[in-house]
Amino acid sequence: MSVTDATGRHTQRRVPLKAQTLIQAQAELEKLKQTRTVPPQRQTSPIWSSYWPTYISQIHQLKRPRTVDSEKLHCVHWAEAIGRISIHLIRKSHLLQYRSAKLKAGWAGRTVNLAITVLSNVLNHAQDNGLIDTLPTTGLKSIRWKPKKRPLFALEQIESFALLPLRTTATGSFWPITYVSWRGVGHALLRHSASCGRMWIGINNNSPSAQMA
């Protein structure tokens, strides 16, 4: 809308509205048109790198340690992209650039969505403390993604793995076992790690974990 600033000059500005519904927004817009003045603009706020530690320090007693560690790690990653930007100047364009860069770097959609959620948590905290007026995450849709399917193994395949020589992770030497019964007390539990593509067999007794050679 065209408004008049403090010096009397006319300029085109986008003015944020506080309305929650369309009717309220229309009423607020009409009121602004009558006054034709620009609401006061925020001039300063902490930069990202100095504010996110404050957020972490105030929520570490409210969330699980693993959650806090995860949010802290994402905050560090965000600092590499927006660390020197004042939090009230963070725009949706910064988020889109960051998201695109991380996807190109190989991040999964779920991880990128979590990064946006962490940034939103920090900025919501800043808004609650009166440091910013609007959130750049408003209206930003999550990335649609599908988890990778893990392969399924038949019982015959699992028992064939148990016939292979095993090497202990503790000493690196081969474990003197020729067969591990799937149905016995010392049955082998097969796990597949989708991240590294390795097969692991854990023995359900007092012996150390074993890695397939």
| pLDDT value of position 208 | 39
Q: Taking the complete model, does pTM exceed 0.95, yes or no?
A: no
- Provide the 8-state DSSP code for 209: P
pLDDT, tens digit, for every residue of 115-162? 999 999 999 999 999 999 999 999 899 888 676 677 777 777 766 665
pLDDT beyond 80 at 111: yes
123 CB-contact burial (10 Å; exposed 0-12 / middle 13-18 / buried 19+): buried
3-state DSSP assignment of residue 200: strand
Q: What CATH number labels 48-128?
A: 1.10.150
Q: CA angle 54-59-63, nearest 5°?
A: 150
**Number of residues assigned to the chain:** 213
Positive or negative: CA dihedral 172, 178, 182, 187: negative
Sequence spans of domains, the chain: 2-35, 48-128, 155-212
